[in-house]
Chain A
Amino acid sequence: MVITLFIIITIGFMVIRLMPGSMYADDADMTAAQMEILRAKYHLDKPIPVQYGIFLRDLVLKGDWGTSIKMYIGVPVFDVLKMKIPVSMYNNLFSLLISLPIGVLLGIIAAVRKNSIVDYTTSFMVVIFISVPSFIFATLLQYYAAFRSGWFPIIYEASATGFAKLHSLTLPIIALSLGPIARVTRYLRAELAETINSDFMLLARTKGLTEAQAILRHGIRNSLVPLANVVIPMFTHIMSGSMVIERIFSIPGMGGLMVSSINNTDYPLTLAVLIFYSVVSLVTVLVVDLAYGVIDPRIRIGGRHIE
């Protein structure tokens, strides 16, 4: 994992530095001499490999990730992140938390009532929600549920707390969750439909369990094992969707930060955002791998023999 992270940092660093444009090119009121001083201060006058060396040295020896050089001048990048992360995570985790159970529930209903009207309706919605990007729903929701009807605030109210905050986040969370809900539904429907046809479901019924008991005790848990697989891409999907959604609803979160730091060529900040997203993805993978052991005894106990 450390190696993966290192490779990501290296490539990220190079790519960000190679982006066209100089960070002070648009500052017309700065003299050439001032620019030179600033470049020297942030080592931007040196070749990229040397810059990378300096960056690594500071990172490893001092634990210093650098300071923002454009947007929040002089503020260490991690202090900037610390300010933004809670806002985004609030959104993203909330979206994950509601999309998993709803998706699972819809998937179960669709699988149990396979080839019924309910199933067809669900499948139809699933196709729409997967293929239409979230920002379309975001704008539609913003227009109808906020602007036209006034049920929800049009944009995020940063000062609100508690329920009011949740209220202003409702639309972005819904917009973010539709896609993931559809994914979970589709996946679980396929898995569960297969599990329901398996021999052990038949055995569960012939030993006297009701159909509901059999599905609950034997079907669902078995179908959840492979579902852990889609949770990883789902969470990264939510995060990337969140970048655009945050813009639409003016949420001062990570998504907005990433876009504006790239636009402003604030190199350290862009890199920090990138590292943040990489770490979250890697941790998600790790958590899912560990979760497998908890859900699936074949992995938990199978591993013990090898040790």
Chain B
Amino acid sequence: MVEKERPILSVDDLSVSFRTYGGRVQAVRGVSFDLYKGETLAIVGESGSGKSVTIKAILGVLPKNGRIDAGSILYNGEDLAKFREKDFHKIRGKKISLVFQDPFSSLNPIMIVGKQITEALTLSLGMDKDKAKARALELLHAVGIPDPETRFYQYPFQLSGGMRQRIVIAIALASDPEILICDEPTTALDVTIQARILDLIKEIKAQRKLSIIFITHDLGVVANMADRIAVMYAGKIVEMGTSEDIFYRPAHPYTWALLSSIPDLDTKEELVSIPGSPPNMISPPKGDAFAVRNKYALELDFEEEPPMFRISDTHFAATWLLHPNAPKVEMPEILAERIRRYAEEKLANAR
């Protein structure tokens, strides 16, 4: 599934903070992950967990009040964290592309979509106009837009949300990037369109051997997409593993809570929600940031931050529960029961 070689992108101990009137908001606090060629890495977390900030840092498009405090982002032997604006021009759109959350606001409302695709080619790659247009039509076709010749000359407001997102994907693919970052690409779309856009992304990934970083707050969406999943909370990765690891052997209480709060049609239990709200990132709490909302929290969780414990070669989690001396705590019964059922269904399907 995943080729074990040198990672194509390697984020190490990345910290990002924002200057605000209230103080420095520590949005990302020491995030590390590797992305391998041809894999889809999903970053999951609730709003404000720092997932979007992480990818903005990778692309060098942090807002003006944001800055990278520490860490490195290695791509092709170069550290993007030390890049200046002009250095990013050889990366952005050419090697690493971004698909946005909201296709309604990410296209320029008063420019024909064709031009929005070709300008990436003509301006930053220096392609001539006719060639760029041919390429744009090809891309429109590839992302499943019917009648590209007509659509090329239309404005975004003449297209549906799903089509606009396809255009955004076409723009992202324009100069054949190696890495595609999808920032909640389906959140703003209808559920039926969501599925089609996800299929499109999967198809494109397979065809072009792309590596994808897929940001979402919806575990249901990543279930079929991701090879590996990183769960983020309060600016840190709390658990990281393959899809299987996260869905069938979750180890962090936050992951347990997230998984339990996915609606399940087969049980009659009330939907589980996580109590409380994420901490204020101007002064992150001492110890484990999730401790106050975590009914399995140990005394140590309020004192000291847990390190990443290694569960298997692919699976890591930052919780003291994994310490050899910790009391044995099992995941909530609802979740355990659900996982057993899924596993059985999966087995049944496999036969």
A interface with B by C-beta (< 8 Å) = 198-200, 202-211, 213, 217-218, 221-222, 225, 295-298, 301-302
Contact = CB atoms under 8 A, between A and B. Distances in A.
Contacts of B93: 206-209
B124 A200 contact: no
B171 interface: yes
Contacts of B98: 202-203, 206
Contact of A208 (B102, B124, B157, B168): B124
Given A200-B107, A210-B124, 15 more contacts: A199-B102, A203-B98, A204-B108, A206-B92, A206-B172, A207-B92, A207-B171, A208-B120, A208-B175, A209-B123, A210-B86, A210-B89, A217-B111, A218-B108, A297-B110
Contacts of B61: 202, 205-206
Interface in B157-192: 157-158, 168, 171-172, 174-175
Given A203-B98, A203-B168, A218-B111, A209 B106 contact: no
Interface string B82-97: 0001100100111001
B281 to A, nearest CB: 21
| Residue of A213, A218, A225, A295 with highest tally of chain B CB at under 10 A | A218
Interface string B103-135: 001111111100000011001110000000000
Contact of A203 (B94, B106, B155): B106
Interface residues of B, number: 33
A295 B108 CA distance: 13
Nearest to B88: A205
B145 to A, nearest CB: 18
B77 to A, nearest CB: 21
A298 to B, nearest CB: 5
B123 A213 contact: yes
Contacts of B212: none
B110 A295 contact: yes
B59 interface: yes
A218 B171 CA distance: 15
A216 to B, nearest CB: 10
A207 B116 CA distance: 10
B316 interface: no
The 8 closest A-B pairs by CB, nearest first: A208-B93, A208-B124, A207-B120, A207-B93, A199-B106, A199-B105, A206-B98, A200-B108
A297 B155 contact: yes
Nearest to A222: B110
A301 B110 CA distance: 11
A298 B59 contact: no
Nearest to A204: B108
Given A202-B61, A203-B171, A297-B155, A208 B92 contact: yes
A199 B155 contact: no
Nearest to A218: B108
A222 B108 CA distance: 8
Contacts of A199: 100, 102, 105-106
Contacts of A200: 105-109
Contacts of A208: 89, 92-94, 120, 123-125, 175
Contacts of B124: 207-210
B280 to A, nearest CB: 24
B126 to A, nearest CB: 11
Contacts of A296: 110
Contact of B106 (A202, A298, A302): A202
B142 to A, nearest CB: 16
Contacts of A295: 110
Contacts of A206: 59, 61, 92-93, 97-98, 172
A215 to B, nearest CB: 12
Interface in B316-334: none
A209 B118 CA distance: 11
A298 B92 contact: no
Contacts of A218: 108, 111
A206 B85 CA distance: 12
A209 B85 CA distance: 11
B54 to A, nearest CB: 15
A205 B157 CA distance: 21
Nearest to A300: B155
Contacts of A222: 108-110
7 contacts: A198-B105, A200-B105, A205-B61, A208-B92, A209-B124, A210-B86, A221-B110
B205 to A, nearest CB: 18
B119 A298 contact: no
A207 B110 contact: no
Interface in B130-155: 155
Contacts of B158: 301
B85 A211 contact: yes
A297 B155 CA distance: 8
A119 to B, nearest CB: 12
Contacts of A298: 109-110, 155, 157
Contacts of B92: 205-208
A218 B89 CA distance: 17
B168 to A, nearest CB: 7
